[in-house]
A and B are shown apart, each in its own frame.
Chain A
Amino acid sequence: MSVLRWWWGLLLAFAILALGRVFLPLPFANEIVLFSIYAMGCNFLLGRVGFISFGQPAYLAVGAYGTAFYLFYFGSNPYVGILCGIVAGIVISLAVGALFVRLRKDYFALVNLALAVIVYYLMQKVLAGITYGDNGLWFLTSIASTPVLDLSRPDQFFIFAFLVAFAIFAFYKYIDDSIFGACCLATKINEDKLTFLGYSNFSIRLVAFVIANTTTALAGAMYAVYLGFVSPEITSAARTPEPVIVTILGGVGTLYGPIVGSLVYIGMKDLISKFVGNWELIIGFGLVLIMLAGEKGIWGTIEPLLKKAFSCALRRPLPRTLGGRSDD
């Protein structure tokens, strides 16, 4: 019973997402699933550990280029390519994380922004010999067909991305319920107190940082396979606030916030850009209004109401004929 209780919210959320695929165009559905994975890392960092990062595109690019280098230069199996992206994400997160997580939270935000700029110029100029600069790396046609789920086909890629997203969200739900999740939240609330209990804040933050940014790198790797193309644009300055916006829009620290935030943000972007030229302006005002209306974000506002409604419905006694308890 408790196992079912643990899974049911997750299953329901992804059942709705799967149902949405029937009505939504495939590119839009793929974009939402990929962006949800992308925003999940940012959501974990901000909601659980209290670190705001304006450098998430850097880790997205690390994953994307890790995959792109493999698929452009060495092989054609997209699964191996994604694995390369994940490994690149782990290595870079460990290397920079050991330095970054020691910083104060405001400096952390800025140093990550600086990293995004560094990665952009590395890919655009310094490593242009192997990244082809602004032209980017094209490998869509060299991606091999794979058995079971052929990632070179967008419809089958969606199924793969959907399953990966489900696994990622289940993993984060598990972390949320674990002692490590409690440690992450505790380091956000009162880091000194956690130290006095015998925990190393540095270790907790480093592990959380690596987990979050490896998730982001995974999203980058999947973007690379889906688009068959990677360019420095992926980590441009204009894109740095996107995951933070989606996280805040969805509801910081909530499990389903990244899905809701991605759905609304990408939906608004797609819909408004069809009718208005300067769509960024409209989206900007829209975001301000949404955030003013509910500072907890969309899911953060809805979730307590849903919980209350469900708990009221469950508390209502069943008729005696259905085995319900009678008060008399």
Chain B
Amino acid sequence: MSDGNNMLMVAGLNVAYGEAKALFDVGMTVRPCEIVGCVGRNGAGKTTLLKTIAGFLKPTTGTVTFNATNLVGMAAFVVAGVGIKYVPQDKRVFSDLTVRENLELASYATNDYDWSQVTHYFPRLKGMMDRKAGFLSGGERQMVMIGQSMLGNPKLLLIDEPTEGLAPSIVAHLKDVFSELKKKAALVLVEQNLPLVCAIADRVYALCEGRIIAELMDRDSIRPEVCEPYL
């Protein structure tokens, strides 16, 4: 059941990789047009949480409800179809395809061929449409991946470590993009870059060893020195 303003509700989520449990009774909510940060050490379960919401992993127990639709058991491509886009951490675009073909794939899946928003946020992509994506830098690949996820006007973006290994200028640019994107969609941002999270997140969940150990609910409490102990 969708509750009040909540667009996404995760409750009692338990996920395991075979015998190894990765998430324990995790719960979180996301409201429309807000940025929710997820912080925690490596192996805390942040990526597992995003992959489970995106339908790539099946929880052993628990519910994932998106606008009153239970997502548990749905295939990942069906979850993408309801408006939840996952941007994985690996920055692996379709390297043998051009930037244009990469975007076309996303357009065809969503029937959205208006790339003006993508080129507005990432004008650099305009000049490299015919370049093979395998020849792009890490930052440019991230732009392509976020550009792909923006097509089709998704309602929720799950973005996994978007700034990992990127130059500070690109990180600053992505920060502005995320702040802009928030006007149209909710974002769940898994990040280790605390200054970025603290600058743009409306709420923050801290994970440790598969459990949510803290929930920072108001903007004033979301500061690097508060989040630091959770990393």
Chain B 104-150 residues near chain A, CB threshold 8 A: 104-106, 108-110, 148
Contact A196 B88 (CB under 8 A): yes
Contact B77 A193 (CB under 8 A): no
Contact B56 A195 (CB under 8 A): yes
Choose among A185, A189, A190, A199 the residue that contacts B109 (Cβ–Cβ < 8 A).
Answer: A199
Contact B106 A193 (CB under 8 A): no
- For B80, list chain A residues within 8 Å (CB): 195-198
**Beyond A192-B56, A192-B88, is A197–B106 a contact (Cβ under 8 Å)?**
yes
- Measured as residues with beta carbon below 8 angstroms from the partner, the interface class of chain B is 20 to 34
Contact A197 B96 (CB under 8 A): no
Q: Does any Cβ of A come within 8 Å of B58's Cβ?
A: no
Q: Does any Cβ of A come within 8 Å of B81's Cβ?
A: yes
Q: Does any Cβ of A come within 8 Å of B76's Cβ?
A: yes
Q: Does any Cβ of A come within 8 Å of B204's Cβ?
A: no
A201 vs B78: C-alpha distance in the bound complex, in angstroms? Answer: 12
Contact B104 A198 (CB under 8 A): no
Contact B97 A199 (CB under 8 A): no
Q: Does any Cβ of B come within 8 Å of A271's Cβ?
A: no
**Beyond A179-B105, A182-B104, A186-B105, is A198–B94 a contact (Cβ under 8 Å)?**
no
- For A196, list chain B residues within 8 Å (CB): 54, 56, 76-77, 80, 85-88
- For A287, list chain B residues within 8 Å (CB): none
Smallest CB gap from B109: residue in A: A198
- For A192, list chain B residues within 8 Å (CB): 56, 76, 88
Q: Does any Cβ of A come within 8 Å of B219's Cβ?
A: no
Contact B92 A190 (CB under 8 A): yes
Contact B54 A198 (CB under 8 A): no
- For B87, list chain A residues within 8 Å (CB): 196
CB distance from B118 to the nearest CB of A (A): 14
A35 vs B148: C-alpha distance in the bound complex, in angstroms? Answer: 40
Contact A198 B95 (CB under 8 A): no
Question: How many chain-A residues does the 8 Å CB contact rule pick out?
Answer: 17
Q: Does any Cβ of B come within 8 Å of A183's Cβ?
A: yes
CB distance from A84 to the nearest CB of B (A): 35
Q: Does any Cβ of A come within 8 Å of B164's Cβ?
A: no
- For B152, list chain A residues within 8 Å (CB): 198
Q: Does any Cβ of B come within 8 Å of A200's Cβ?
A: yes
Q: Does any Cβ of B come within 8 Å of A87's Cβ?
A: no
- For A186, list chain B residues within 8 Å (CB): 94, 97, 105
A199 vs B111: C-alpha distance in the bound complex, in angstroms? Answer: 12
Contact B92 A198 (CB under 8 A): no
A186 vs B56: C-alpha distance in the bound complex, in angstroms? Answer: 17
Contact B76 A185 (CB under 8 A): no
Q: Does any Cβ of B come within 8 Å of A194's Cβ?
A: yes
Choose among B75, B88, B110 the residue that contacts A193 (Cβ–Cβ < 8 A).
Answer: B88
Q: Does any Cβ of A come within 8 Å of B101's Cβ?
A: yes
CB distance from B19 to the nearest CB of A (A): 22
Choose among B88, B105, B110, B148 the residue that contacts A182 (Cβ–Cβ < 8 A).
Answer: B105
A60 vs B9: C-alpha distance in the bound complex, in angstroms? Answer: 53
Chain A 151-196 residues near chain B, CB threshold 8 A: 179, 182-183, 185-186, 189-190, 192-196
A38 vs B94: C-alpha distance in the bound complex, in angstroms? Answer: 29
Contact B56 A194 (CB under 8 A): no
**In this complex, which of B54, B88, B105 has the most chain A Cβ atoms within 10 angstroms of its Cβ?**
B105
Q: Could you show 7 A-B contacts with beta carbons less than 8 Å apart?
A: A182-B104, A189-B96, A193-B93, A194-B105, A196-B80, A196-B86, A197-B77
Closest A-B pairs by Cβ, 6 of them: A198-B80, A198-B109, A195-B76, A196-B86, A186-B94, A179-B108
Other contacts beyond A196-B56, A197-B109: 10, CB < 8 A: A183-B105, A186-B105, A189-B92, A190-B94, A193-B94, A195-B75, A195-B77, A196-B87, A199-B105, A200-B75
